[in-house]
Amino acid sequence: MSWSIHHVNLEARDVRKAAAFYSAILGMAEADWVFPKTRGYLPGDPDKLALFGDGRQSHTGLHLIAPDPEFAEKNDLTHNPSVGGHVAIEVDDLQTVVHRLNAAGIRYSLTGEFAIPGMRHLYVEDPEGNLIEVNERLRG
């Protein structure tokens, strides 16, 4: 199965202060977040969410998000991707990952397209408790 790092999502208590750092110090350009029509609960206010695209694909690069303790509940998820940060790994066959997780008895949260246009997402903790997002492009 092929894979690549899609994005890194960092928790930012002050999204605008963190965004200013990445812009002014590292010279990164902030981009507009594009929401899918099937958007789940994801605050789009610039004080809550920022995107620094790397130019490879839509929404790849660095994401900054304000921690939201109710994020998981509002999206009917077991895992909360707004707290503690996570790395997102894009794969070409998410269903194979789902089958492997089920076979291993590992809990995960699976969504359809809700945060990034054209992608579905799965959230899972690795054995060390690190939250990982695994996603794939929707075919169709």
What 3-state class would DSSP assign to 94?
helix
Amino acid 140: pLDDT: 72
pLDDT of residue 40: 86
pLDDT for position 14? 98
How much is the mean pLDDT over the chain? 95
Contact by Cβ (8 Å): 62, 10: yes
Q: Are 135 and 121 in contact (CB under 8 A)?
A: yes
* Per-residue model confidence (pLDDT) at position 98: 97
**Which stretches of the chain score pLDDT less than 70?**
none
Phi, psi of 56 (to 5 degrees): -75, -50
> How far apart are alpha carbons 115 and 40 in whole angstroms?
6
Tell me the C-alpha distance between 70 and 76, whole Å: 10
Residue 1 has what pLDDT? 85
pLDDT of residue 139: 86
